[in-house]
Amino acid sequence: MSYAEVLLPLAVVGTYTYAIPADMTLETGMRVLVPFGRKKIYTAIVTRIHDIKPTGYDVKEIFATLDDHPIVRHPQLKFWDWIADYYLCTTGEVYRAAVPTGLKVESETFVAVNPEFEEDASTPLTDRERALLDYAAQRDRTQIAELARITGFKGVERTVSHLLDYGAMLVSERVVDNYRPKTERCVRLTLAPEQKEELNAFFDQVGKAPKQEKLLLAYLDLSHWLQGTPKEVRKDDLLQRADVSQQVLDAAVKKGIFEIYKREINRFAQATEQEPQLPTLSAEQSRAYGEIHQSWGTHDITLLRGVTSSGKTAIYIHLISDALRHGNSVLYLVPEIALTTQLTQRLRKHFGDKLLVYHSRFNDNERVDIWKRLLASHDPCVVIGVRSSIFLPFAKLGLVIVDEEHDASYKQQDPAPRYNGRNAALILAKMHGAKTLLGSATPAIEVYHRALAGQYGLVELTQRYGDITMPDVQVIDLQDARHRKEMTGMFSNALIRRCREALKAGEQIILFQNRRGYAPMVRCKQCDWIPKCQNCDVTLTYHKHTRNLICHYCGYTISLPTVCPVCGMPSIEILGYGTERIHDDIETIFEGEKISRMDLDTTRSKSAYDRIIDEFSKHRTNILVGTQMVTKGLDFDAVSVVGILNADNMLSFPDFRSHERGFDMLEQVAGRAGRAHKQGTVLIQTSNQQNPVIQFVINHDYLGFYQYELAQREQFGFPPFTRIIDIYIKHHDQNITQQIALGYAALLRQIFGTRVLGPQPPVVARVQTYYIRKITLKLELNASLTKVKKLLRDSYVTLLTNTPAAKAARIYYDVDPV
């Protein structure tokens, strides 16, 4: 008897052993259906096959296989193990995040009446149980939730459990495969190619139906049927070529001339195969391109620090072409879905159908198609996508490019695994023996520190492409403007004047406000009542287009009241500005101008990004209002003015990375100005123009900011001089949350001493009815992470023993938080 170790898509530690039926052939990486628990079926992945029979329990058999070939490739399982180990979660959680839902067949529990059951004295049923059986009998098989809905009974699960124990009901499992392939209708003759003589009979049949005759001739032309090797013919192509209606085809099918069938197709339309037309590199770009190749001779990882609009993408294209020419695939990571829109259009021109796009706005069927395409082909390709792209089954990965590597969007927050896509990509590349290029105008402090220390190669581009001058950054003092009454809402007169000049010259404007919605809060002017979320410790954001107050953490929604529910006065006022309110004010200030808005509310569909960017690129809109989505790598030639409406919000967050995030965002959004033909202008509105970060932005001085920030980090012991692990404790009861957090912190202090900080509530101390406490563990760089993680796990076991309430709490770890 052979046995298989299988990985389940659950937050359970390790793998489980199942017996392999004698008639089943398995390979590592294949999917199998296995029973788990009492009555559930899951799709597991085979991780190992062996002949060692487990002892101490009865081994269950695998139900069935779902594949003829593995759906994961080397080194995917090894990569999953690394993520689970480093980010302190289970490999099952990684599997659940990595594989599209359509490849994880699940089961739905159904119950049915047992036809052999007979009630007797040993199994007396209650009236409620008999009624439930009667309802179930009428429906053959049904779900428990459906029984509860139809009967209106409470506690149906307990009643069904009793009936199962009596044998009056049976549990049946219906395996549900969520994946649906995309198909198209094709047409073929009902004759085989060798039956050419019988084709005359078909022409006789359509002799008095000229439209059907046109259809037959069009088919022979499109299919090359007479040549003996017929091609598949799409129904729509045939009808278009013959210029006839569907009814004509239906009549020919009825006569037995044609048959219509479905074929499975890839969802992604592919461009015609073409020779790449590579962009011409300037002298500076050519130097950087050569230095990158030279750097890869001694370092597998190289950082390209290039100022905004220095032409990093053109260098990427040349490096991608090199990799493809050597038969290697390329992974091109970007932090935001919005970036894939412009890049896809640009890369498609160079690489045609070798380009694949992968991100979370694709539906599950589309993601399954990409996964299957990569499995089916060993041909080199380019995958452009966001952080989840690292989980795809690459055949021969030769190059990984992480664009805008500094961006916090690479970090997955919830649910587990809480991985950093950039850092995980470095490990993925190492496992494949691939080279990695990190690119940014404002590299992460830790990354630049490693590059200067010689751990990574370093190549720098300090000039914009075409020798365009860096944008002129001007600061507008909001306190002074308000004092002089030179403000219209959130807009200073200086900003309005400069925008009018740009519009008059036929140029475009980007306005940046890193807060979506209409206003961040509303308040009663009489009693100071402020509506807050009932599930989270946050104020509700007002969205004018729906007249709703919405929590951006849990989605809790209420209508905007017309009178205060506390004092009963009609004195509700709206405070602050989000992108929706900025958009409305701009329409009033610049009457008649075409304006678009890019934030989470306007980009909920995958096509919304394309539409907004396309409209702005083609001057159908001239003013773009947006959140941080507009700061990241977008390239618009005609943008001459960028307005940052409130820089202070980004620089005052209580976090050691707030200055770095603020500098990155300000410098990146400033880089959208004046990219093609002339110097642009950036206007920063702030109430604290003496903030050193703003001074560094004015001078575009990344090196000065890096040295300033590094000194701060060293003084207070933050990365890159230490490593941080945040531990979160969540529970529905505030007192229990605090008790568990204090107990866990005390246990950790016995081991790690002063390296343990907290517990303390985070900025938002309650989310989705869970109270939250955070413990921070600050470790030396030379500390053994393997040992640290073992000590954390041991401490957690001790906590469960000492504090039984901890079993009901959610405790998780955030390694290298951003």
Domain total in the chain: 6
Q: Read off the pLDDT of residues 785-816 as tens digits, 9 standing for 90 and up.
A: 889 989 999 999 999 998 989 999 999 999 99
Q: Do 421 and 303 have their domain in common?
A: yes
Task: Give the CATH number for residue 149.
Answer: 1.10.10
Q: Is the pLDDT of residue 220 over 80?
A: yes
Q: Do 611 and 492 have their domain in common?
A: yes
Q: Which domain holds residue 770?
A: 722-815
CB 329 within 8 A of CB 299: no
Q: Do 308 and 368 have their domain in common?
A: yes
Q: Read off the pLDDT of residues 716-754 as tens digits, 9 standing for 90 and up.
A: 999 999 999 999 999 999 999 999 999 999 999 999 999
Q: Do 799 and 756 have their domain in common?
A: yes
In a domain, 539, yes or no: no
CB 684 within 8 A of CB 642: no
Structural domain ending residue among the three candidates 707, 732, 753:
707
Spatial separation of the C-alpha atoms in residues 771 and 730, rounded to whole Å: 5
CB 454 within 8 A of CB 727: no
Calculate the CA dihedral of residues 142, 146, 150, 155 and round it to 10 degrees: 110
Q: Do 651 and 792 have their domain in common?
A: no
Helices 606-617 and 337-351, axial angle in degrees (round to 10): 70
Q: Read off the pLDDT of residues 582-616 as tens digits, 9 standing for 90 and up.
A: 999 999 999 889 999 998 888 877 678 778 888 88
In a domain, 145, yes or no: yes
Calculate the CA dihedral of residues 361, 364, 370, 371 and round it to 10 degrees: 130
Q: Read off the pLDDT of residues 11-61 as tens digits, 9 standing for 90 and up.
A: 998 999 999 998 889 999 999 988 887 767 888 999 999 999 888 888 898
CB 441 within 8 A of CB 635: no
Which residue has tokens 């919605």? 517
Two structure tokens written together for 53: 């029979």
For residue 557, give the amino acid letter. T
Q: Do 454 and 603 have their domain in common?
A: no
Report how far apart, in Å, the C-alpha atoms of 205 and of each of 210, 459, 653 are.
Answer: 11, 73, 80
Structural domain ending residue among the three candidates 71, 105, 139:
105
State the number of CA atoms in the 13 A half-sphere of 233 facing the CB.
26
Given this model, what pLDDT does residue 273 score? 47
Q: Is the pLDDT of residue 458 over 80?
A: yes
Q: Is the pLDDT of residue 457 over 70?
A: yes
Residue 365: pLDDT band with limits 50, 70, 90: confident
Given this model, what pLDDT does residue 67 score? 84
Contacts of 798 (CB under 8 A, 6+ apart): 747
Given this model, what pLDDT does residue 707 score? 97
Q: Do 163 and 209 have their domain in common?
A: no
Q: Is the pLDDT of residue 677 over 90?
A: no
Q: Do 392 and 333 have their domain in common?
A: yes
In a domain, 550, yes or no: no
Given this model, what pLDDT does residue 192 score? 85
Q: Read off the pLDDT of residues 140-180 as tens digits, 9 standing for 90 and up.
A: 778 777 777 777 777 676 777 678 767 788 766 556 555 56
Given this model, what pLDDT does residue 271 score? 45
In sequence order, which ranges of 652-733 are alpha helices (DSSP H)? Answer: 658-670, 692-698, 702-716
Q: Read off the pLDDT of residues 396-430 as tens digits, 9 standing for 90 and up.
A: 999 999 999 999 999 998 889 999 999 999 999 99
CB 806 within 8 A of CB 730: no
Q: What is the DSSP string of 751-803?
A: HHGGGEEEEE--SS-EETTEEEEEEEEEEETTS-HHHHHHHHHHHHHHHHHH-
For residue 211, give the amino acid letter. K
Which residue has tokens 């205060």? 564
In a domain, 270, yes or no: no
Least confident piece of the model among 88-102, 181-195, 492-506: 181-195
Spatial separation of the C-alpha atoms in residues 624 and 353, rounded to whole Å: 32
In a domain, 571, yes or no: no
Give the β-pairing of 329-333 and 397-403: parallel
Question: Which residues, in sequence order, are bridge partners of residue 487?
Answer: 492
Report how far apart, in Å, the C-alpha atoms of 817 and of each of 50, 409, 418, 762, 814 are.
Answer: 39, 12, 9, 13, 6
Q: Is the pLDDT of residue 227 over 70?
A: yes
The residue ranking higher by pLDDT, 162 or 200, is: 200
- Distant-in-sequence contacts of 794-803, Cβ < 8 A, 24+ apart: 795/744, 795/747, 795/748, 795/751, 796/744, 798/747, 799/740, 799/743, 799/744, 799/747, 802/743, 802/747, 803/739, 803/740, 803/743
Q: Do 225 and 371 have their domain in common?
A: no
Q: Do 629 and 765 have their domain in common?
A: no
Task: Give the CATH number for residue 77.
Answer: 3.40.1440.60
Smallest CA-to-CA distance from 679 within 666, 688, 667, 670 is with 670
**DSSP code, position 37:** T
Task: Give the CATH number for residue 786.
Answer: 3.30.70.600
CB 332 within 8 A of CB 383: yes
Q: Do 113 and 101 have their domain in common?
A: no
Q: Read off the pLDDT of residues 269-289 as tens digits, 9 standing for 90 and up.
A: 444 445 557 888 999 999 999
Q: Do 169 and 217 have their domain in common?
A: no
**DSSP code, position 193:** T
- For the chain, give the percent of residues with pLDDT over 70: 94
In a domain, 274, yes or no: no
Given this model, what pLDDT does residue 267 score? 56
In a domain, 354, yes or no: yes
In a domain, 264, yes or no: no
Given this model, what pLDDT does residue 272 score? 43
Given this model, what pLDDT does residue 454 score? 95
Rg (CA), the chain: 31
Helices 312-325 and 337-351, axial angle in degrees (round to 10): 50
Residue 272 CA to its chain's centroid (Å): 29
The overall average pLDDT reported for the chain is 88
Given this model, what pLDDT does residue 106 score? 63
Structural domain ending residue among the three candidates 105, 127, 152:
105
Q: Is the pLDDT of residue 264 over 80?
A: no
Contacts of 314 (CB under 8 A, 6+ apart): 279, 281, 285, 465
What is the pTM assigned to this prediction?
0.80
